Amino acid sequence: MSRPYTVNYVCSGNICRSPIGEVTLRAMLEEAGLGDRVEVVSSGTGNWHVGDPADPRTVATLERHGYDGSAHRAAEFDGAAFDNYDLILASDYGHERRLNRLARTEEDRAKIRMARSFDEEAVAAGDLEIPDPYLGYQQDFELVMEQVLAANRGVVNYIREQLGA
């Protein structure tokens, strides 16, 4: 049996944006009947939070929207592991640049996409970055949730097409 289609959601420290992306995408894929065919993980471009739980504001935001982020532990993106992923979702252009620098081949680079590039309204507005809420307020985490959910609807459709489901 081949490995599942694997998505890695990436942000800076893997405690705010990418855990929201990971937890909500996993749930949306389950709802779409694709949970058994797709694995979702997340990571950060930096290592300063490795092993830490998600930011308490991240966990609270997820809970308010019916998701459980309490089990999350931060990880650093492993540049040697591109072969393990089919789709790598960058939260902002800095992450995209960092991931492209880590990519060894054009095939690796082709896996990297801005998460919001799957949200038609974000594309039309020319606003593909998910802003970092870490130094902000609760409403910044709510904005991230809103943007990620919109992007993930498109990601689910894209994965469905990739899997021919």
The edge-to-edge listing of strands for the beta sheet with 87-90 is 38-44, 5-11, 87-90, 112-114
Report H helices in the chain. 17-31, 56-64, 93-102, 106-110, 120-125, 138-163
In this structure, are residues 54 and 15 in contact, taking their beta carbons and an 8 Å threshold? yes
- Show Cβ contacts of residue 96 under 8 Å, excluding neighbours closer than 6 positions: 90, 112, 114
Active site residue 17: yes
In this structure, are residues 13 and 74 in contact, taking their beta carbons and an 8 Å threshold? yes
Nearest to 58 by CA among 77, 42, 37: 42
Catalytic residue among 17, 26, 98, 116: 17
Active site residue 98: no
Catalytic residue among 132, 140, 153, 160: 132
Active site residue 108: no
Catalytic positions, please? 11, 17, 132
